[in-house]
Structure 1
């Protein structure tokens, strides 16, 4: 019998939402995504300890400024881990620009250039990397510039139709609309549980896929932030799905077929591009999206700071 994981791979391109090399090698995804939270989780894994020590030694040789050391160490570690992950997947690895830059277009562009240069120094070409940026107006503008330079991007923390449309307008390579965090907000607001087909997060991602199809946009949609197996299976047919090791294990342990839950409609009318006031107003009108974007940026920033503190301890 076919496992649910193998069946899902026939409907969607599966991406591992982890920095754990063992998990990536076990489930054989096409791509892998990382962020400060996932790097923090991978920080204590035995397989990364020699790499961490090597990167910290290189940071110490670059500068004696402790704060600069910690910040540089996070970037070096992200790229070093990403380079190892790139050896284990046939596709791309996503590496995130620091959350503190989410509202600074020029600083985000400079950081993306630094990350790509670091990857290229390690022999990993830009065609194997996606630069991950928060879906703020400033992050989307940074992605627009980077895409024109041949640096493809993954726009994350996407919760509203306005964010999605602005990303399509900017020609970004990939967007990551969140499922679980959307549903978390509605469950807290309403006090109810949702079946997969009426799940707010599932319906949101299906809507983003429909918007891509009707507009004829080239942007890839990748469902992210799953809480349950039901959410994953309900979005079979979404071009890409980034899934945690725990849910990948559930999928690999179950046998059965997977029916597509997402249909991409034929090209219809392409709406006019959003200007900044229209984007900000549209996003502002979605209370869930406002809450979750701000919360997501804060969480990534907190994990970045925690990671910097852990690295500072190791730097001595």
Structure 2
């Protein structure tokens, strides 16, 4: 009888979906099919992991064959192939999820507004050439001042929706909201990592600094009626996920999706708009100098933003090496 009762209980994942849009944080199509998220998000690290798996080599071959037709030098071919590969991964994802996919701009462009905009529009064009409407795409940019300004141009001038990532502070979140960005991805786990490393303290979901940061951003947005939505990201455990039930969206790795699927603990909504509007929060006015100063004064956010950009850039270089190998092999 107990076994039957357990089977009848709704999983934590299904309960979570009642409060929050669940997004798969993966490049693995099979995981998406299994856990049925609404949206999916990728980054260079996830693409690199997927590209190493033989079952995805057909996408690399398609990207390289395209690059061989439109480019001449090896460097040009690598750039063209990597750009298209991100779109081909997105295309396959959109065949699985009903919502949107986030496609990341090269982290090496994080401090260049014009090049970020140009690359984003190229990605959108590649999608549209393959019959995919830009409304199903979120262009993912690092939440530097330049990344936020690039997103502002894309949103306002080109009607291209953006997802600002590597988000670790309220000042980044406010600047994004003021810029009219569609969505932000504050990083829960990486904030926790920094505090654990620097304080040597232990945390649970009730005092987790990453959870507190995302909760504060969510409350600020709802309090001041911003249209930008919050997608909590980078989770270390399902306790963090449960503590943010009610957040607009949560992007979750396959391993944690599996844990949630196998968990039957009752989940309650932790964040909601009506309570957020009652919170006592002061409005922050942001310009470039204020942004740079407030970010500078936040050691955690400054360090994690720089670290994240370096890591994504390094993984993009590794992905380029994988693609170059295919260019050499297919060119023989």
Task: Check if 1:197 corresponds to 2:223.
Answer: no
Equivalent-residue separation in structure 1 for 2:90 and 2:126 (angstroms)? 11
Alignment of 1:24-63 (within 5 A): 24-63=32-71
SS in 2 for 1:16: strand
- Unaligned 5+ segments in structure 1 are none
Q: Which runs of 5+ in 2 are unaligned?
A: 1-8
Indicate the SS of the match to 1:157.
strand
Matched, 1:100 2:108: yes
Question: Is this contact kept in 2: 1:12–1:240, CA < 8 A?
Answer: yes
Aligned to 1:130: 138
Secondary structure of the structure 2 residue equivalent to 1:10: helix
Are residues 1:167 and 2:179 paired?
Answer: no
CA contact (8 A) 1:35 1:96 kept: yes
Q: Map Cα deviations across residues 262-299 of structure 1 (whole Å, 9 max, x no partner).
A: 23312788836411001111111100000000000000
Cα distance in 2 between the residues matched to 1:104 and 1:44: 30
CA contact (8 A) 1:216 1:270 kept: no
Matched, 1:266 2:277: yes
Matched ranges for 1:1-316 at <5 A? 1-148=9-156, 149-264=158-273, 265-266=276-277, 271=283, 273-316=285-328
Shift of 1:42: 0.7
Contact 1:214 1:270 in 2 (8 A): no
**RMSD between aligned residues:** 1.3
Cα contact 1:196–1:202 (8 A) shared by 2: yes
Instruction: Give the secondary-structure state (helix, strand or coil) at the position aligned to 1:2.
Output: coil
Contact 1:168 1:219 in 2 (8 A): yes
Specify the SS of the correspondent of 1:88: coil
For residues 271 and 190 of structure 1, the distance between their equivalents in structure 2, rounded to whole angstroms, comes to 29
- Structure-1 separation of matches of 2:164 and 2:14: 27
1:59 and 1:267 map into 2 onto residues whose CA distance is 54
SS at match of 1:56: helix
1:58 deviates by 1.4
1:128-157 deviations in whole A, cap 9, x for unaligned? Answer: 000000000001001111111210000000
Report the TM-score when normalising by structure 1. 0.97
SS at match of 2:266: coil
